[in-house]
Amino acid sequence: MREKIVGREEECERLEDCLRGETAQLIIVYGRRRVGKTFLINEFFDQKFAFKVTGAYKQPKAVQLRHFMMELNRRTGETLPEARDWDQAFEYLRDYLGRLDPNEKQIVFLDEMPWMDTQKSGFLAAFEWFWNDWASAQDHFVFIVCGSASAWLDEKFANNRGGLFNRQTCRLYLKPFQLSETEEFLKQKGIQWTRYEIAECYMIMGGIPFYLNQLKSRYSLSQNIDSIFFRKQGELWDEFDHLFSTLFTNSDAYVRIAEALSRKNGGLTREEIGNATGIAVNGTLTKMLNHLISSGFARVSSFYGKQKKDQRYQLSDPYTAFYFKYIKDHYGKDEHFWSNSLDNPSRRAWTGLAFEQLCKEHIPQIKRRLGISGVLSAEYVWQTRGDAELGIPGTQIDLIIERRDRVINLCEMKFSVEEYMIDKTYDALLRNKMESFRRMANSRASLQITMITTYGVRRNMYSGWIQSQVVLDDLFQKITD
């Protein structure tokens, strides 16, 4: 069944290594909700599990235990007594697994484990005891722990400082598809779109397989977006309501942070987030921001030439950004909203901002096109209010690539339906940006303007000094870590 898996080559190779391992394996699989974690494990192992159970969302300990025992009864063909607690439940599991053939790999899959660890349930302590006391010594066992609550898996499991400290043998963080994998996934569904359309789709849904799977080949892109997001009771009409609430306790605070970030494409500092949300600027806010990053909803960008406290947090999840921009206030009002807004200036402005975020998710492809894949580099954002006395205007650069070979690429990103034309006004803007950066950032590196566009820059009297270009096709190059 592995032929159904799109991409995920590295993840499959690492799972193969675990299967070939000569000792017990404890694998953690995590990533953004809907990114395809359960699908990958089910398909890779062809559903051939010695035991599999899935945590139930917002259900008490008694329900979690009952589900666990129901599955154990199905596997054993017995009717075991109810487990009074998790210690006893894992003792039952130990007894069952101990009877299986030790000459074959036995796969145990605990899906949505964070949901099993209800308050004061003793689940994690019981699992620690089960693993350390017995399962870790059974060389033919492969245990897979999976969940969308990446913050829980990071804090309570992967970075556990108690009985599970340094016990995992493999950590798989599933990222959203790249553009190349999105294209492959859509082709598998019989959807033949241009790369321009696929890029626009990506700017709405990101590379999230569950969302992409809702697309219908008989519809155009605009018709699909209307049907999925704006039609009453469409497939994903209430997705956002579930997205944050299933991942975070105190989800309202996380939503406030995400909404604040959605209003500032260039990102916000920690202090600015606190001011925008009313959340105290302390360790709790830092932890929440780290949770959003580990769960795939935000990224942190360093500010060129500044200290860590000046880092900018940006909303990196395309669906969440699209929700705050359009779905939140327009759902149900016009079931053809997206089709009807085709020539809306607001939509054209949105595509430009969303394309910038898409580019930041494809830095390796940009570096490959620039021929610097093997050159150590770092990415930054930068802005200045300028200096009126010196005649330096305020400006902002959303992507800077600083290379170890003392070259800095100042990247400009433009999403257009044809070759992008640099006119006199934009030419002056680019030159001002370069000069402002050179003087205000006090940079002595060689500066290059890099244009990242859909179809390239049209040759004219203003295009000759553009040192390097990246086009949409370059972003579709497949790169594995």
What is the tens place of the pLDDT at every residue in 367-413?
999 999 888 999 999 988 877 777 777 888 989 999 998 999 999 99
Residue 46 has pLDDT above 70, yes or no: yes
Task: Give domain status of residue 184, yes or no.
Answer: yes
What's the CATH number where 278 sits? 1.10.10.10
| CA distances from residue 297 to 45, 307, 439 in whole angstroms, order as listed | 29, 23, 34
* 3-state helix, strand and coil shares in percent for the chain, rounded to the nearest 5: 45, 15, 40
Split at pLDDT 50, 70, 90, the class of 287 is very high
**Over residues 76-100, mean pLDDT:** 95
* Residue pair 182/202 in contact by the 8 Å Cβ criterion: yes
Residues 47 and 33 in one domain: yes
22 and 114: one domain?
yes
If DSSP codes are grouped into helix, strand and coil, which group holds residue 104? coil
Which parts of 307-466 are beta strand (E)? Answer: 312-315, 377-384, 395-403, 407-414, 446-453
- 253 falls within a domain: no
Based on the structure, what is the number of domains in the chain? Answer: 4
For helices 195-205 and 345-360, give the axis angle rounded to 10 degrees: 90
81 and 153 in one domain? yes
Q: Which pLDDT value is given to residue 331?
A: 73
Structure tokens at 40: 């990958």
The confidence score (pLDDT) of residue 343 equals 82
Task: Indicate if the pLDDT at residue 157 is higher than 80.
Answer: no
Residue 170 lies in a domain: yes
* Position 255 confidence tier, pLDDT thresholds 50, 70, 90: very high
Cα 163 from chain centroid (whole Å): 29
Q: Which amino acid is at 387?
A: D
Distance of CA 29 to the CA centre of its chain: 14
Residues 449 and 406 in one domain: yes
User: Where is the domain boundary, 133, 151, 174?
Assistant: 174
Q: Kindly state whether residues 430 and 307 are assigned to the same domain.
A: no
Task: Report the percent of the chain where pLDDT is more than 70.
Answer: 97
In a domain, 266, yes or no: yes
Domain final position from 286, 317, 348: 317
* Reported pTM: 0.92
Q: What is the CATH number of the domain that holds 422?
A: 3.40.1350.10
CA distance 433 to 450: 12
For residues 91 and 66, state if they share a domain. yes
What beta strand segments (E) does 56-191 contain?
106-111, 141-147, 170-174
Based on the domain organization, do 335 and 312 belong to the same domain?
Answer: no
* 27 and 101 housed in the same domain: yes
Are both 207 and 269 inside the same structural domain? no
Domain that holds residue 130: 2-174
Residues 6+ apart with CB under 8 A from 89: 65, 68, 69, 72, 83, 126
Domain check: are 298 and 380 in the same one?
no
Read off the pLDDT band of 314 (50, 70, 90).
Answer: very high
Least confident of 275-289, 306-320, 418-432: 306-320
The enclosing domain of 165 has a CATH number of 3.40.50.300
| pLDDT tens for each residue of 174-210 | 999 999 999 999 999 999 999 999 999 999 999 999 9
Q: In which band, very low, low, confident or very high, does the pLDDT at 441 lie, cut at 50, 70 and 90? A: confident
Q: What pLDDT shows up at residue 283?
A: 92
Question: Tokens 């060129």 label which residue?
Answer: 304
